[in-house]
Amino acid sequence: MIGFAPIGGLSLGLGESPIWDERRNLVFLCDIPTGRLLAIRLDGGLIDEWVLGTNVCSIGLCDSGRLIVSLTREIILFDPDTGARQTLAHLEGELETNRLNDGKVGPDGAFWVGTTDQRPERQPVCSLYRIGADGNLVRKKSGLLISNGLAWSLDGTGMYHSDSGGHWIERHDFDIATGEMGEAVRIATPGEADGRPDGGATDIDGFYWSAGVSAGCINRYSPQGAVVEKYPVPVATPTMPCFCGPGLKTLLVTSHRYLSPERLEAYPLSGAVLVAPAPVAGVPVMRMKGF
């Protein structure tokens, strides 16, 4: 068991993409539907926020200290110290009802980001992209419903990726020098009761942590896809785990509040940002090269 506690009374509509910035000693995260980027301290809650005017879908750190941020259909560079922003790329060639979704900087120093179909009846029309220092979006995977769960192994040679709509988690061999992915190996197909896969993270022992958004839990998977631990959380819908703090030994989990009144009454902390001591250290965050 892990004892989770909420941070600073935060309650988000759809909290996502927490990322630990060891230089500033804080966590950046977003509330997608309100278009907010937030900065929080582990011991004190919200310290700053920026409204970027559209959905804020995912975040990565850059070498310079700026952030790379995916908005609805635009990827920007944002400086939280000055508020300056610069457009890096636009999403093109996808349905207008698609938006950007989960994204992370990989060990190749590029930003990886996928898309999601926002229509009630989702179709496999979404993709996973890589964007490097040249600012070009390169499609790396297609035929997705809700691209999610990006994370890499400690040595950078293993990449994890999930589809929340397709109910699967895949692992790829990964070439750090080129950013090339090997063939997908489908390691798990969790159902609703198991915990449909949302955001992900990895630990230094080689295991993959997946937010079970449909089952109120965090699942810890072996590289082969076996659930080795299942950690209940005091929210109905956890969205992403993140290792943070000194030694990356604190586990932070975001969540959302898109629930029926009955479910909200049963899980009043839904939408909170939760923290707990982690039983194992996480993999250090990567930074985007060239920016």
Indicate whether 211 pLDDT > 80.
yes
DSSP secondary structure string for all residues of 113-162: EEEEE-SSS--S-EEEEEE-TT--EEEEEEEESBEEEEEE-TTS-EEEEE
pLDDT of residue 220: 98
Q: Are 252 and 242 in contact (CB under 8 A)?
A: yes
Domain boundaries, the chain: 5-288
φ, ψ for residue 288 (rounded to 5)?
-75, 130
- CA dist 69 → 59, 60, 128, 279 (Å): 5, 6, 15, 30
Tokens for 269, please give them. 């902390």
Question: Which numeric CATH code is attached to 5-288?
Answer: 2.120.10.30
The pTM of this model reads 0.97
Q: Does residue 87 register a pLDDT over 80?
A: yes
What pLDDT is stored for residue 53 in this prediction? 82
State the pLDDT confidence band at 217, using cuts at 50, 70 and 90. Answer: very high
The SS3 of residue 6 is strand
Q: What percent of the chain has pLDDT over 70?
A: 100
Q: What is the pLDDT of residue 54?
A: 85
> How would residue 247 be classed by pLDDT, with cut points 50, 70 and 90?
very high
More confident residue, 162 or 8: 162
> Does the pLDDT at position 1 exceed 80?
no
Neighbours of 138 (CB within 10 A): 12
- Cα–Cα distance for residue pair 243/277, rounded to 1 Å: 10
Residue 129 CA to residue 51 CA, distance in Å, equals: 25
Q: What is the mean pLDDT of residues 104-110?
A: 98
Q: pLDDT (tens digit, 9 = 90+) per residue, 48-86?
A: 999 998 899 999 999 999 999 999 999 999 999 999 999
Q: Is the pLDDT of residue 257 over 80?
A: yes
Question: Which pLDDT tens digit goes with each residue over 178-198?
Answer: 999 999 999 999 999 999 999
* φ/ψ (deg, to 5) at 221: -105, 145
Per residue in 130-162, pLDDT tens?
Answer: 999 999 999 999 999 999 999 999 999 999 999
- pLDDT over 80 (residue 118): yes
pLDDT at 16 over 90: yes
What is the chain's mean pLDDT, rounded? 96
Q: What is the pLDDT of residue 66?
A: 98
Is the Cβ–Cβ distance between 103 and 113 less than 8 Å?
yes
